[in-house]
Amino acid sequence: APVRRPREPPAPPAGSPPGPARPGAKRLPQAIVVGVKKGGTRAVLEFIRVHPDVRALGTEPHFFDRNYDRGLEWYRSLMPRTLDSQITVEKTPSYFVTKEAPRRIFNMSRDTKLIVVVRNPVTRAISDYTQTLSKKPDIPTFEGLTFRNRSLGLVDTSWNAIRIGMYAVHLESWLQYFPLSQIHFVSGEKLITDPAGEMGKVQDFLGIKRVITDKHFYFNKTKGFPCLKKSESSGLPRCLGKSKGRTHVQIDPEVIEQLRDFYRPYNIKFYETVGQDFRWE
Protein backbone atom coordinates (compact mmCIF):
# COMPACT_ATOMS: atom_id res chain seq x y z
CA ALA A 1 0.00 0.00 0.00
CA PRO A 2 1.29 3.52 -0.74
CA VAL A 3 2.62 5.35 2.33
CA ARG A 4 0.12 7.97 3.41
CA ARG A 5 1.86 11.27 3.77
CA PRO A 6 0.47 13.76 6.32
CA ARG A 7 -1.70 16.25 4.44
CA GLU A 8 0.17 19.44 3.75
CA PRO A 9 -1.65 22.69 4.55
CA PRO A 10 -2.81 24.25 1.25
CA ALA A 11 -0.31 26.70 -0.19
CA PRO A 12 -1.36 30.34 0.08
CA PRO A 13 -2.85 31.62 -3.19
CA ALA A 14 -0.30 33.25 -5.50
CA GLY A 15 0.11 36.93 -4.87
CA SER A 16 -1.18 36.79 -1.28
CA PRO A 17 0.49 39.47 0.87
CA PRO A 18 3.63 38.30 2.65
CA GLY A 19 4.17 38.41 6.41
CA PRO A 20 1.92 39.78 9.13
CA ALA A 21 -1.08 40.47 6.89
CA ARG A 22 -1.90 36.79 7.39
CA PRO A 23 -3.30 36.48 10.89
CA GLY A 24 -0.79 33.90 12.06
CA ALA A 25 -1.38 30.34 13.24
CA LYS A 26 -2.86 28.69 16.29
CA ARG A 27 -0.05 27.03 18.19
CA LEU A 28 0.11 24.84 21.26
CA PRO A 29 1.29 26.93 24.23
CA GLN A 30 5.01 27.26 24.81
CA ALA A 31 4.35 28.47 28.37
CA ILE A 32 1.64 27.53 30.86
CA VAL A 33 0.72 29.12 34.18
CA VAL A 34 0.08 25.82 35.98
CA GLY A 35 -0.70 27.09 39.47
CA VAL A 36 -1.69 27.82 42.11
CA LYS A 37 -5.32 28.64 42.77
CA LYS A 38 -5.73 31.94 44.69
CA GLY A 39 -2.02 32.67 44.27
CA GLY A 40 -2.24 35.52 41.77
CA THR A 41 -2.43 33.62 38.48
CA ARG A 42 -5.04 35.91 36.91
CA ALA A 43 -2.88 38.95 37.69
CA VAL A 44 0.18 37.31 36.10
CA LEU A 45 -1.83 36.45 32.99
CA GLU A 46 -3.35 39.93 32.65
CA PHE A 47 0.04 41.58 33.23
CA ILE A 48 2.01 39.37 30.82
CA ARG A 49 -0.49 39.67 27.97
CA VAL A 50 0.26 43.41 27.77
CA HIS A 51 3.55 42.30 26.17
CA PRO A 52 3.48 42.53 22.35
CA ASP A 53 5.30 39.20 22.07
CA VAL A 54 2.74 37.32 24.16
CA ARG A 55 -0.74 36.10 23.22
CA ALA A 56 -2.79 34.48 25.95
CA LEU A 57 -5.98 32.52 26.20
CA GLY A 58 -8.36 34.49 28.46
CA THR A 59 -10.31 31.55 29.88
CA GLU A 60 -8.97 28.46 31.65
CA PRO A 61 -9.12 25.53 29.21
CA HIS A 62 -8.61 22.81 31.88
CA PHE A 63 -7.20 20.61 29.14
CA PHE A 64 -4.62 18.65 31.12
CA ASP A 65 -6.99 17.91 33.99
CA ARG A 66 -10.62 17.74 32.77
CA ASN A 67 -10.64 17.79 28.96
CA TYR A 68 -7.65 15.67 28.05
CA ASP A 69 -9.73 13.13 26.14
CA ARG A 70 -10.70 15.86 23.64
CA GLY A 71 -7.20 15.70 22.21
CA LEU A 72 -4.43 18.14 21.36
CA GLU A 73 -6.12 19.46 18.22
CA TRP A 74 -9.14 20.56 20.27
CA TYR A 75 -6.72 22.24 22.69
CA ARG A 76 -4.87 23.95 19.86
CA SER A 77 -8.14 25.20 18.37
CA LEU A 78 -8.79 27.24 21.55
CA MET A 79 -5.50 29.13 21.28
CA PRO A 80 -5.17 32.68 19.97
CA ARG A 81 -3.44 33.15 16.62
CA THR A 82 0.21 34.12 16.90
CA LEU A 83 2.99 35.33 14.66
CA ASP A 84 6.29 33.43 14.66
CA SER A 85 7.78 35.95 17.07
CA GLN A 86 5.01 35.53 19.66
CA ILE A 87 4.60 33.13 22.57
CA THR A 88 1.27 31.43 23.30
CA VAL A 89 0.35 31.25 27.00
CA GLU A 90 -2.54 29.66 28.86
CA LYS A 91 -3.33 29.37 32.56
CA THR A 92 -5.18 26.72 34.53
CA PRO A 93 -4.18 26.84 38.22
CA SER A 94 -5.55 23.37 39.03
CA TYR A 95 -2.86 21.72 36.89
CA PHE A 96 -0.33 22.11 39.71
CA VAL A 97 -2.22 19.67 41.93
CA THR A 98 -3.28 17.28 39.13
CA LYS A 99 -1.31 14.02 39.26
CA GLU A 100 -1.40 13.42 35.49
CA ALA A 101 -0.69 17.00 34.38
CA PRO A 102 3.15 16.90 34.43
CA ARG A 103 3.31 13.76 32.28
CA ARG A 104 0.64 15.02 29.88
CA ILE A 105 2.32 18.40 29.41
CA PHE A 106 5.69 16.67 28.97
CA ASN A 107 4.14 14.47 26.28
CA MET A 108 2.91 17.57 24.45
CA SER A 109 6.34 19.20 24.63
CA ARG A 110 9.22 18.55 26.98
CA ASP A 111 10.31 22.18 26.40
CA THR A 112 7.15 23.74 27.86
CA LYS A 113 7.95 26.56 30.27
CA LEU A 114 5.94 26.38 33.48
CA ILE A 115 4.96 29.30 35.71
CA VAL A 116 3.78 28.71 39.28
CA VAL A 117 2.43 31.63 41.30
CA VAL A 118 2.73 30.79 45.00
CA ARG A 119 1.73 32.68 48.11
CA ASN A 120 1.70 32.05 51.85
CA PRO A 121 -0.27 28.79 52.10
CA VAL A 122 -2.21 29.97 55.17
CA THR A 123 -3.53 33.13 53.48
CA ARG A 124 -4.04 31.11 50.29
CA ALA A 125 -6.28 28.66 52.16
CA ILE A 126 -8.31 31.48 53.73
CA SER A 127 -8.68 33.14 50.33
CA ASP A 128 -9.79 29.82 48.84
CA TYR A 129 -12.36 29.35 51.62
CA THR A 130 -13.57 32.95 51.20
CA GLN A 131 -14.17 32.31 47.50
CA THR A 132 -16.10 29.09 48.16
CA LEU A 133 -18.14 30.79 50.88
CA SER A 134 -19.23 33.50 48.45
CA LYS A 135 -20.71 30.78 46.22
CA LYS A 136 -21.98 28.40 48.94
CA PRO A 137 -22.88 30.44 52.05
CA ASP A 138 -23.97 27.35 54.04
CA ILE A 139 -20.65 25.47 54.13
CA PRO A 140 -19.06 24.65 57.53
CA THR A 141 -16.70 27.09 59.24
CA PHE A 142 -13.07 27.37 58.16
CA GLU A 143 -11.96 25.80 61.46
CA GLY A 144 -14.42 22.95 61.03
CA LEU A 145 -13.02 22.09 57.61
CA THR A 146 -9.37 22.60 58.57
CA PHE A 147 -9.10 20.06 61.39
CA ARG A 148 -9.76 16.36 61.62
CA ASN A 149 -9.21 16.85 65.34
CA ARG A 150 -8.86 20.40 66.60
CA SER A 151 -7.67 19.62 70.15
CA LEU A 152 -4.93 17.35 68.78
CA GLY A 153 -4.20 19.93 66.09
CA LEU A 154 -4.69 17.29 63.37
CA VAL A 155 -5.08 19.08 60.04
CA ASP A 156 -7.33 17.53 57.41
CA THR A 157 -5.01 17.26 54.41
CA SER A 158 -7.80 15.85 52.25
CA TRP A 159 -9.50 19.25 52.19
CA ASN A 160 -8.43 20.86 48.91
CA ALA A 161 -7.93 24.31 50.44
CA ILE A 162 -5.29 22.80 52.75
CA ARG A 163 -3.81 20.32 50.28
CA ILE A 164 -3.03 22.88 47.54
CA GLY A 165 -0.67 24.80 49.86
CA MET A 166 1.57 21.76 50.44
CA TYR A 167 3.68 23.00 47.54
CA ALA A 168 6.71 20.76 48.16
CA VAL A 169 4.55 17.64 47.81
CA HIS A 170 3.04 18.67 44.46
CA LEU A 171 6.34 19.94 43.10
CA GLU A 172 7.84 16.45 43.34
CA SER A 173 5.51 15.19 40.59
CA TRP A 174 6.63 18.02 38.28
CA LEU A 175 10.31 17.41 38.94
CA GLN A 176 9.95 13.84 37.69
CA TYR A 177 9.39 15.33 34.23
CA PHE A 178 10.79 18.86 34.16
CA PRO A 179 14.07 20.37 35.37
CA LEU A 180 13.81 23.28 37.81
CA SER A 181 15.26 25.53 35.11
CA GLN A 182 11.96 25.15 33.22
CA ILE A 183 9.78 26.13 36.18
CA HIS A 184 9.52 29.73 37.30
CA PHE A 185 8.05 30.62 40.69
CA VAL A 186 6.33 33.97 41.13
CA SER A 187 5.83 35.32 44.65
CA GLY A 188 2.17 36.25 45.05
CA GLU A 189 3.19 38.70 47.78
CA LYS A 190 5.82 40.48 45.65
CA LEU A 191 3.36 40.58 42.76
CA ILE A 192 1.42 43.05 44.93
CA THR A 193 4.32 45.04 46.42
CA ASP A 194 6.59 45.06 43.33
CA PRO A 195 4.64 43.97 40.24
CA ALA A 196 7.21 45.35 37.79
CA GLY A 197 10.06 43.48 39.50
CA GLU A 198 8.18 40.16 39.52
CA MET A 199 7.02 40.61 35.93
CA GLY A 200 10.59 41.51 34.91
CA LYS A 201 11.67 38.05 36.07
CA VAL A 202 8.76 36.42 34.24
CA GLN A 203 9.78 38.17 31.00
CA ASP A 204 13.40 37.04 31.47
CA PHE A 205 12.21 33.47 32.05
CA LEU A 206 10.12 33.56 28.87
CA GLY A 207 13.10 34.94 26.96
CA ILE A 208 11.34 38.13 25.89
CA LYS A 209 12.38 41.76 26.24
CA ARG A 210 11.56 43.56 29.50
CA VAL A 211 8.77 45.69 28.07
CA ILE A 212 6.46 45.61 31.10
CA THR A 213 7.95 47.96 33.68
CA ASP A 214 6.96 50.36 36.51
CA LYS A 215 5.37 52.61 33.90
CA HIS A 216 2.60 50.05 33.39
CA PHE A 217 1.30 49.94 36.97
CA TYR A 218 -0.44 52.08 39.51
CA PHE A 219 -1.50 51.01 42.99
CA ASN A 220 -5.23 50.95 43.61
CA LYS A 221 -5.78 51.68 47.30
CA THR A 222 -9.38 50.46 47.41
CA LYS A 223 -8.55 47.06 45.91
CA GLY A 224 -5.23 46.87 47.72
CA PHE A 225 -3.27 45.79 44.68
CA PRO A 226 -1.65 47.04 41.50
CA CYS A 227 -3.62 47.68 38.33
CA LEU A 228 -2.50 48.21 34.76
CA LYS A 229 -2.54 51.74 33.39
CA LYS A 230 -3.41 50.40 29.95
CA SER A 231 -4.93 47.05 29.15
CA GLU A 232 -4.03 44.86 26.19
CA SER A 233 -7.27 45.48 24.33
CA SER A 234 -8.74 48.89 25.10
CA GLY A 235 -5.89 51.11 26.20
CA LEU A 236 -7.95 51.95 29.29
CA PRO A 237 -6.83 51.32 32.89
CA ARG A 238 -7.46 47.72 33.85
CA CYS A 239 -8.05 46.35 37.34
CA LEU A 240 -8.92 42.75 38.06
CA GLY A 241 -12.62 42.02 38.58
CA LYS A 242 -14.76 42.24 41.72
CA SER A 243 -14.02 38.63 42.64
CA LYS A 244 -10.36 39.58 43.23
CA GLY A 245 -9.14 41.18 46.43
CA ARG A 246 -12.15 40.07 48.48
CA THR A 247 -12.01 40.83 52.19
CA HIS A 248 -11.01 37.59 53.89
CA VAL A 249 -13.10 35.89 56.55
CA GLN A 250 -11.83 36.58 60.09
CA ILE A 251 -10.15 33.47 61.48
CA ASP A 252 -9.27 32.73 65.10
CA PRO A 253 -5.54 33.61 65.53
CA GLU A 254 -4.95 30.29 67.29
CA VAL A 255 -6.15 28.43 64.18
CA ILE A 256 -3.79 30.50 62.05
CA GLU A 257 -0.93 29.64 64.43
CA GLN A 258 -1.72 25.90 64.18
CA LEU A 259 -1.83 26.13 60.40
CA ARG A 260 1.48 28.00 60.32
CA ASP A 261 3.03 25.17 62.33
CA PHE A 262 1.49 22.62 59.99
CA TYR A 263 2.84 24.27 56.83
CA ARG A 264 6.28 25.18 58.19
CA PRO A 265 8.08 21.91 57.28
CA TYR A 266 6.47 21.91 53.82
CA ASN A 267 7.49 25.54 53.28
CA ILE A 268 11.08 24.88 54.33
CA LYS A 269 11.32 21.87 52.02
CA PHE A 270 9.84 23.97 49.21
CA TYR A 271 12.37 26.81 49.77
CA GLU A 272 15.21 24.30 49.76
CA THR A 273 14.01 22.54 46.61
CA VAL A 274 13.53 25.70 44.55
CA GLY A 275 16.43 27.61 46.11
CA GLN A 276 14.26 30.60 46.97
CA ASP A 277 13.04 31.86 50.35
CA PHE A 278 9.52 33.25 50.12
CA ARG A 279 9.59 34.56 53.70
CA TRP A 280 6.26 33.08 54.78
CA GLU A 281 7.55 32.34 58.25
Q: Which residues are annotated as a binding site for 3'-phosphoadenylyl sulfate?
A: 38-42, 119, 127, 244-248
Q: Are 74 and 67 in contact (CB under 8 A)?
A: yes
CA distance 234 to 119: 30
CA distance 163 to 267: 13
Q: What are phi and psi of 164, to 5 degrees?
A: -55, -40
Q: Which helix (H) or strand (E) holds 82?
A: strand 81-82
CA distance 107 to 91: 18
Q: Which residues are catalytic?
A: 38
Burial track 164-182 (b if 16+ CB lie within 10 A, e otherwise): bbbbbebbebbeebbeeee
**Helix 41-48 and helix 195-206, axial crossing angle in degrees, nearest 10:** 70
